[in-house]
Amino acid sequence: MAILVTHISGWGRYPVQSCELERPERYTDLCANTDSVIARGQGRSYGDAALNENGRVLLTERVNRMLDFDTEQGILCAEAGTTLAEILPVIVPKGWFLPVTPGTKFVSLGGCVAADVHGKNHHRDGSFGDHVLSLELILADGSRVACSPSERPELFWATVGGMGLTGIIGEVTLKLVPVTSAYMKVQNHAAENLEQLFAVLGDAEQDERYSVAWIDCLAGGKNLGRGVAMFGHHADADHLPPSLGNPLIVKPKRSKTLPFDLPGWVLNPGSIGAFNNYYFKHEGSKQRPFLSGYDEYFYPLDSVGQWNRMYGKRGFVQYQCVIPEGTAFGGIRELLQELSASRRASFLAVLKRLGEQGRGMLSFPQAGYTLALDLPLRNDGLLSMLNRLDEIVLHHGGRVYLAKDARLSAESFRAMYPRYEEFLAVKNSIDPDNRFSSSLSRRLGIAGKA
């Protein structure tokens, strides 16, 4: 099959590496036909998870057929290249929704499994892998095996969150959740500082199925951690105004695309501070619950195509970590202080409560709070500051999310992911020659003897 050698990157546009791309269109062409292969869906992981410098990258975007949708049981089976954006217009009109969704719908099912993604409902419903009924995995020797929580469970839980390193995810069977409308009922709460924000997010009275908080990380001192907590649940069709028409259909809005790279200086502490002030007042002032289409609610950034160009040509790093429940408040405060002290502006800063540790061996979520920061790359020691953040995270027993990562050290990785050796034992049993490897797996030293 034809190979295209070219430079590619993840969503953060850092790092950029030369890879050999192959784009099969037939299911039978999904296989590891060379020494080093990694599957890549939509390239929405931020760093080097779907890069393979000087190695093969198998694009799954054309292997995207939906194979079965049981509208009675809410079970969807599709090839791993299928995106959530393709699935939603099929399932929502039939009264079903994704059990878990990340902040963009332009991700493949395979990517959702490989990164064991979480959404705003992690504290209630767990991560993506918890709703996968079964997978078909294409192994290094070319065999195609089914795995699920009951069939080959070790392989299944190594693959869920396994960053594509156990094999190529071919098919995913997913259990959906029922909804009666395509709308969300949303309630915002402004918080003047981190303490208030934690109080709101942790308040069982106010808690809803979906919760997330936006943080103004330029605010310091007594306002450190000020932000807006946003709660939501699927609106009941019976409570919608009749003027909306069919409750399962939301009229689509036109999306815009950022046509070019913004110069690096556009996003600076001044401009971000001005935006943050506006956003805090605007969103924080919404005291009453309001209705929102599911697209607007779950995927606000998807309405601006290629928004990653906002950070300029050099790209950005998304730093997402979790700090366990017990010391979450102190840990997050330390992280924000470090950030605030460096006068570094993160355009996007998100705080979210996570539920129990997932079952995937390399799954990111653990009970506690997760903080995600978008940090543009400049010549100013960002990477050394991120190493300091790693130390804080490690000190509190937390971890960094591999799907976002571009720079974690192998040593920190092993300290953060205690089930690493268990994962490696499974990998060695099915992929002894380490055919499934990526730039991320080499950087983190995920290979060899456990």
Contact between 7 and other proteins by CB under 8 A: the answer reads: no
Site mask for other proteins (CB under 8 A), range 83-112, x = bound: ---x---x----------------------
**Between 66 and 304, CB nearer to other proteins:** 66
CA distances for 265 relative to 46, 262, 343, 345, angstroms: 21, 8, 14, 12
Pick from 8, 10, 15, 23 the residue near other proteins by CB under 8 A.
Answer: 23
d(CA 12, CA 31): 27
Q: Which is nearer to other proteins, 93 or 418 (CB)?
A: 93
Q: Pick between residue 69 and residue 275 the one whose CB is nearest to other proteins.
A: 69
Q: How far is the CB of 87 from other proteins (least distance, A)?
A: 9
The contact mask relative to other proteins for 48-77 (x = CB under 8 A, - = no) is --------------x--xxxxx--------
How far is 400 from 378, CA to CA, in rounded Å? 21
DSSP letter assigned to residue 102: -
Which DSSP letter does residue 36 get?
A: S
Q: Out of 27, 128, 157, 369, point to the residue binding other proteins (CB under 8 A).
A: 27
Number of residues that bind other proteins (CB under 8 A): 20
Select from 25-33, 141-149, 172-180, 257-265 the region that touches other proteins (CB under 8 A).
25-33
Work out which of 79, 295, 405, 431 binds other proteins, going by CB under 8 A.
79
312-333 residues labelled b (16+ CB within 10 A) or e (exposed): beebbbbbbbbbbeebbbebbb
Smallest gap from residue 293 Cβ to other proteins (A): 21
Least distance in Å: CB of 86 to other proteins? 8
* Cα(290)–Cα(285) distance, integer angstroms: 12
Q: Under the criterion CB under 8 A, does residue 258 sit at the interface with other proteins?
A: no
Alpha carbon distance 345, 365 (integer Å): 25
Residue 1 makes contact with other proteins by CB under 8 A: yes
Based on the shown chain and the rule CB under 8 A, indicate whether residue 25 belongs to the binding site for other proteins: yes
Of 63 and 212, CB closest to other proteins: 63
- Per CB under 8 A, 356 contacts other proteins: no
Instruction: Tell me the pairing of strands 183-191 and 290-293.
Output: antiparallel
Report long-range pairs for 144-147 (Cβ below 8 Å, ≥24 apart).
144/170
Q: Return d(Cα 295, Cα 293) in angstroms, integer.
A: 5
21 binds other proteins (CB under 8 A): yes
Closest to other proteins by CB, 1 vs 383, is 1
For 128-149, give the DSSP string: GGGGEEEEEEE-TTS-EEEE-S
In angstroms, what is the minimal distance from the CB of 3 to other proteins? 6
CB of residue 170 to other proteins, shortest distance in Å = 11
DSSP single-letter state for residue 220: -
Nearer to other proteins, 91 or 115 (CB): 91
Q: Give the residue from 134, 209, 212 showing the smallest Cα distance to 179.
A: 209
User: In the complex, what is the shortest distance from the CB of residue 1 to other proteins, in angstroms, rounded to a whole number?
Assistant: 8
Taking the least distance from each CB to other proteins, the nearer of 84 and 354 is: 84
Residue 28 found at the interface with other proteins (CB under 8 A) = yes
List beta partners, residue 57: 21, 38
* Beta strands 256-257; 304-305: pairing state: parallel
d(CA 216, CA 226): 6
Q: Given the rule CB under 8 A, which residues bind other proteins?
A: 1-4, 21, 23-28, 62, 65-69, 79, 86, 90
